[in-house]
Amino acid sequence: MTQPLPVPPGARPREGWFFEDYAVGQRFGHATPRTVTAGDAALYVALTGARQPVHCAEPVARALGHPACPVDDLLAFHVAFGKTVPDISYNAVANLGYADLRFLEPVYPGDTLAAQSQVIGLKQNSGGTSGVVWVASRALNQHGREVISWVRWVMVAKRDAAAPAPATVVPELPKAVEPGRLPVPPFLKPRALQPAATGGARLWEDYAPGETIDHPGAITVEEADHMLATRLYQNTARVHFDAYSAATGPFGKRLVYGGHVISLARALSHDGLENAFAIAAIHGGTHANPTFAGDTIVARSIVTACDPVPGRDDVGALRVRLLAAKNARLATVATPAPGAKDPAVVLDLDLSYLVPRRG
């Protein structure tokens, strides 16, 4: 993606953009940059139960070479993602998928994130009342450095069903972030991560493709906490906040922000993936079913690859299929075939963690 030029902000309709407003190549410089603080980090812990000590114990972060605790990768992502909502998914019916998401640099309290996007694909749905928009987005810090980049596609309502369909452009997306493109900060000393700090002794060499880890915890989602999380990220998508309108909508109730479910699954996965200290990339994933307040989330990780990271003998990439299911005992949930759906599965994510190597 080349340097996006912001569309004139005054041009944004107050009700947001609809499907027929998008054109392939269109660029957005999203509004309301956001400084991330220790307050956001504390709230993230309270909202998700995240426990990775790199993000919440200063001595652990400093031992790894960080100047301070970086905020949770997903907190940074949600804030950046939230910036894109007013221009991309304000009128979204559903957030359909992610690809090529890379965490390029750590984000520290005090950093200010801004986001930019470019439309890279469009496809009207057969019903003619909505369509799929693909966008490539990136978050920049206050130094203008790219800290996260990703592609997502989202189903957006049409303002006027009679508006003509645009030419269909379905972008070719990488099936995965190749190991050579997995970002690892050069300063990082992964072997400084102590099992006594994380609570787990297993390192990169101790996992093997095919291993399935049923994480033991479970979290029930309340209306208050998914809304607190989503407002913290300044994500304004209507479907999460407005019970009055939702009562007459497709689900009859508010929808939980899919990113909150990713965060819960990631937090639950700590027990079993204690030394997966950072997310390097999200290769793809879908919110396979909606999540609502009252649902109880459980998580399973299936190791799909153990990739060496080129140029590093101290850290490896653990590729994992992270499933979140709801309102079921994990033992009763069969892992769906890739691409298949199970009514209990709400999240099916393909991601790579960084894990220290024994060396």
**Residue 279 Cβ, how far from its own copies at the closest point, in Å?**
18
Using CB under 8 A, which residues numbered 45 to 84 contact its own copies?
Answer: 45-49, 51-53, 56-60, 69
**Residue 28 Cβ, how far from its own copies at the closest point, in Å?**
10
| Helix/strand/coil for 206 | helix
Using CB under 8 A, which residues numbered 153 to 192 contact its own copies?
Answer: none
**Burial level of 277, CB count in 10 A (0-12/13-18/19+)?**
buried
Is 118:46 a contact under the CB 8 Å cutoff?
no
Structure tokens given for 320: 């994992």
Bridge partners, residue 321, by sequence: 302, 350
Bridge partners, residue 115, by sequence: 139
Contact between 136 and its own copies by CB under 8 A: the answer reads no
User: Which is closer to its own copies, CB of 231 or CB of 312?
Assistant: 231
Contact between 271 and its own copies by CB under 8 A: the answer reads yes
Q: Which of 65, 128, 185, 217 binds its own copies (CB under 8 A)?
A: 217
**Residue 275 Cβ, how far from its own copies at the closest point, in Å?**
10
Helices (H) and strands (E) in the chain, counts: 7, 12
**Burial level of 67, CB count in 10 A (0-12/13-18/19+)?**
exposed
* Cα–Cα nearest to 273, from 349, 205, 182, 353: 353
User: Which is closer to its own copies, CB of 19 or CB of 98?
Assistant: 19
Q: Which of 96, 192, 312, 327 binds its own copies (CB under 8 A)?
A: 327
Size of the site for its own copies (CB under 8 A): 82
Please identify, among the stretches 32-40, 123-131, 255-263, 342-350, the one whose residues bind its own copies according to the rule CB under 8 A. 32-40
Using CB under 8 A, which residues numbered 99 to 128 contact its own copies?
Answer: 110, 112
